[in-house]
A and B are shown apart, each in its own frame.
Chain A
Amino acid sequence: MTPRTADRWCPALAPALLLRHDPVRGADLLVLPERVVVLQGHGGAVVGLCDGTRTVSGIVGELAERFPGAPVAATVPAFLDSLRQEGWLK
């Protein structure tokens, strides 16, 4: 992802998707037709910020404050990009 994209793209969940916490399994899930995706680690926290108002840079900034020391700048843009390629983020 180019720095330019990171400042302009405001990711949002595609309409068919549901992000929910699963208390039975202690996991965050993305639920869509015919599929359930179990989000690993802090994946749920990342996707939870994808509300269509925050840029990728903004999301990275918030996560860096919330999880000091975590390599968010290096991993989060690639993670969001992979979700976009699946069609789960717009």
Chain B
Amino acid sequence: MTAPVTPVPPGPAGSTAPPWALLAELTHACPLHCPYCSNPLELTRRSAELSTEEWTDVLRQAGELGVVHTHLSGGEPLLRPDLERIVAAAEAAGIYTQLVTSGTGLDEARLASLTAAGLRSVQLSVQHADPRAGDRIAGRPSSFAAKERAAALVRAAGLPLGLNVVLHRDNLDAVDALIELGVAWGADRVELANAQFYGWGLLNRAALLPTRDQLARARETVERRREHLAGRVDLVWVVPDYFEGVAKPCMGGWGAVSLTVAPDGTVLPCPAAASLPDLSPPTVRDRPLAWIWEHSAAFNRFRGTDWMTGPCGGCPRREEDFGGCRCQAFALTGDAARTDPACALSPDHRLVREPADAGRAVVPPPYVYRRPGAVPPAAPVRPARAADG
């Protein structure tokens, strides 16, 4: 995820600058089954979800804490029958709302009631420019058609429309057609985010990992189209960190810019952090959001630069990339405090370089689609072991 804000100088020494943004995962239920889903492998049951009143209180607290932006996401947030009330609660708290949806279940009446509640913008996921390929990647028939209808409704309602595309082996060659789709559907912004490999994405890495050639062609296309579309459609390219030798500034720093509230009220520094086994993340059911942000061990664990190990410690880039992604460091090395292996300076860099440069099977393995029970909780995906040193 890209940092949603213009950076501003940090607050006075010793104080924790307030968060700008909140990702509200309203539910993990979803009609789609994308194999790179950013939800954790262990999905939260619907019976454990926060109530309307609890979300209302979370958003009120978030506004008081300094949050100005929220992504109302999931799973599929439209599956919450109280979504209108949650939008209204965000609006009442002064928070700008962005609905992140698959488009399935959005009709004219629903959009009208959401807009009346104060919804400000919509982001629609798109899996491929070709309807059949899109439905195959999403694991749901007719999902592409639902997206096309949803895009038209959003435009007719006059709301800003963004398309969110996760790029991987199966759709990178269609990047030109995806951009064209964004233009045809009237999008203001198209986010082309190369797949990140933890959680579901790591489970499906052998199927999703592109080749360097594919990436080079896609990048060239994006740069060419960006020039043509300047001032009309904002094209955002989120870098494929396995291939760059440079770690991404994940979340703009741990506990620096934004927080994630999971469906059951667990509060995380990023949506993937549920994968860290010893984080003991706090929950809004036990603690005020301000305490969680400022004082919880989970949010202070990797805040700033003091925790850094290995090459990060003295690195001139440590304030730019914040050591990269903690969840990727854990997923690949078993130690969340190590330098992100995506960085060429990491002693574990081979853990991304080798798969990135390995030959690809002509026929990729089938997807493990994201659905409850796809990965038995008793047999979690084991992190690969790091090399010593």
A65 at the binding interface (Cβ < 8 Å): no
**Which stretch of A3-11, A27-35, A53-61, A74-82 is in the interface?**
A27-35
Q: Are B231 and A35 in contact (CB under 8 A)?
A: no
Q: Are A20 and B121 in contact (CB under 8 A)?
A: no
Q: Are A20 and B68 in contact (CB under 8 A)?
A: yes
Which chain A residues border B64 with CB–CB below 8 Å?
A: 24
List the B residue with the shortest CB-CB distance to A34.
B4
Q: Are A87 and B160 in contact (CB under 8 A)?
A: no
Known: A20-B68, A22-B66, A31-B69. A36 touches B18 (CB 8 A): no
Q: Are B188 and A33 in contact (CB under 8 A)?
A: yes
Known: A16-B120, A18-B120, A31-B96. A36 touches B69 (CB 8 A): yes
Q: CA A32 – CA B5 in complex, angstroms?
A: 10
Known: A16-B120, A16-B121, A16-B160. A29 touches B68 (CB 8 A): yes
Q: CA A30 – CA B96 in complex, angstroms?
A: 10
List the A residue with the shortest CB-CB distance to B64.
A24
Which chain B residues border A32 with CB–CB below 8 Å?
A: 96, 160
Interface size on A, residues (CB 8 A): 17
Q: CA A15 – CA B69 in complex, angstroms?
A: 17
B6 contacts which of A16, A20, A22, A35 (Cβ < 8 Å)? A35
Which chain A residues border B231 with CB–CB below 8 Å?
A: 87
Q: CA A22 – CA B20 in complex, angstroms?
A: 11
List the B residue with the shortest CB-CB distance to A18.
B96
Q: For chain B residues 97-152, which have a beta carbon within 8 Å of chain A?
A: 98, 120-121, 123
What residues make up the interface of A, taking CB atoms closer than 8 Å to B?
15-16, 18, 20, 22, 24-25, 29, 31-38, 87
Which chain A residues border B188 with CB–CB below 8 Å?
A: 16, 33
- Bitwise interface map of B from 55 to 66 toward A, beta carbon under 8 Å scored 1, else 0: 000000000111
Q: Are B94 and A20 in contact (CB under 8 A)?
A: yes
Known: A24-B18, A24-B66, A25-B18. A33 touches B98 (CB 8 A): yes
Q: CA A67 – CA B71 in complex, angstroms?
A: 38
Which chain A residues border B6 with CB–CB below 8 Å?
A: 35-38
With a 10 A CB-CB cut-off, give which of A32, A33, A38 has the most chain B CB atoms: A33
Q: Are A31 and B189 in contact (CB under 8 A)?
A: no
Q: CA A13 – CA B283 in complex, angstroms?
A: 38
B8 at the binding interface (Cβ < 8 Å): yes
Q: A20-B94, A25-B8 are in contact. List 10 more A-B contacts (CB 8 A).
A: A16-B160, A24-B65, A25-B18, A25-B66, A33-B188, A34-B2, A35-B4, A36-B5, A36-B20, A36-B68
Which chain B residues border A34 with CB–CB below 8 Å?
A: 2, 4, 98, 162, 189
Which chain A residues border B66 with CB–CB below 8 Å?
A: 22, 24-25
- Bitwise interface map of B from 1 to 12 toward A, beta carbon under 8 Å scored 1, else 0: 010111010000
B288 at the binding interface (Cβ < 8 Å): no
B377 at the binding interface (Cβ < 8 Å): no
Q: CA A87 – CA B123 in complex, angstroms?
A: 19
Which chain B residues border A35 with CB–CB below 8 Å?
A: 4-6
Q: Which 7 residue pairs spanning A and B have beta carbons closest together?
A: A24-B66, A16-B160, A36-B5, A31-B96, A33-B121, A33-B160, A24-B18
B364 at the binding interface (Cβ < 8 Å): no
